[in-house]
């Protein structure tokens, strides 16, 4: 069975399509005029944390780096953090142009915490999967 990132629709990987649709929905949700509350009734900071947590998970999922090259992997995940943190900041600033909305530094902080938590959990899960589901090492390789 092919991994989900290997499935393509019109030449695009399914993971990339999911990321694009999620990012558009997140942008629209954060720029919706104030007073129109879409979604579950949660604390605003929980919504920001969860929204950017999901975005970071998808970004980690669709980006690639060689599994055995720690330097390139570190750059990959640091890049995800930097790009998404910059986007979160810009996203907060542009909310000033939506009716009834205003930038909030604590919303941006919740966004960044969601990003950092997602990347950290993704890395931890990746290590667990590699440790327990990696192919067994042949006995000949151990003896030599």
Q: What is the pLDDT of residues 72-93, one digit of tens each?
A: 888 999 999 999 999 999 999 9
Q: What is the DSSP string of 12-57?
A: EEHHHHHHHHHHHHHHHHHHSPTT---SS---HHHHHHHHHHHHHH
- pTM recorded for the entire structure: 0.80
Give the pLDDT confidence score for residue 102 in this predicted structure. Answer: 84
pLDDT score recorded for residue 53: 97
User: What band does 66 get if pLDDT is binned at 50, 70 and 90?
Assistant: low
Q: What share of the chain is helix, strand, coil (3-state, %, to 5)?
A: 70, 5, 25
pLDDT-based confidence at 127, cuts 50/70/90? confident
In this prediction, residue 67 carries a pLDDT of 64
Picking from 129, 128, 119, the residue whose alpha carbon sits closest to that of residue 53 is 119
Band of the pLDDT at 2, cuts 50, 70, 90? very low
Kindly state the tokens that stand for 13.
């990987």
The CA-based dihedral angle spanning residues 133, 135, 137, 140, taken in that order and rounded to the nearest 10 degrees: 160
> Which stretch of 3-7, 10-14, 69-73, 94-98 has the lowest confidence by average pLDDT?
3-7
Tokens representing 85 are: 């943190």
Give buried/exposed letters for 22-34 (b at 16+ CB in 10 A, else e).
Answer: bbeebeeebebee
What number is the average pLDDT over the span 19-25?
Answer: 92
Q: Are 94 and 31 in contact (CB under 8 A)?
A: yes
* pLDDT greater than 90 at residue 12: no
Phi-psi region of 10 (alpha: psi -120 to 50; beta: other; left: phi over 0): left
Give me the chain's average pLDDT, please: 83
pLDDT value of residue 1: 32
Q: Which has more confidence, 143 or 42?
A: 42
């Amino acid at each position: 069975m092919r991994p989900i990132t290997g499935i393509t629709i019109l030449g695009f990987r399914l993971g990339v399509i999911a990321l694009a649709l999620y990012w558009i929905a997140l942008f629209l949700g954060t720029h919706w005029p104030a007073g129109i509350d879409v979604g579950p009734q949660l604390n605003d900071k929980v919504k920001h944390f969860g929204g950017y947590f999901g975005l970071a998970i998808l970004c980690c999922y669709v980006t690639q780096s060689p599994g055995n090259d720690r330097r390139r992997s570190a750059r990959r995940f640091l890049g995800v953090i930097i790009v998404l943190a910059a986007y979160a900041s810009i996203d907060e600033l542009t909310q000033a142009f939506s009716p009834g909305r205003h930038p909030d530094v604590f919303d941006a902080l919740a966004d960044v915490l969601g990003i950092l938590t997602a990347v950290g959990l993704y890395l931890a899960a990746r290590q667990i999967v590699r440790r327990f589901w990696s192919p067994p090492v042949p006995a000949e390789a151990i003896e030599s």
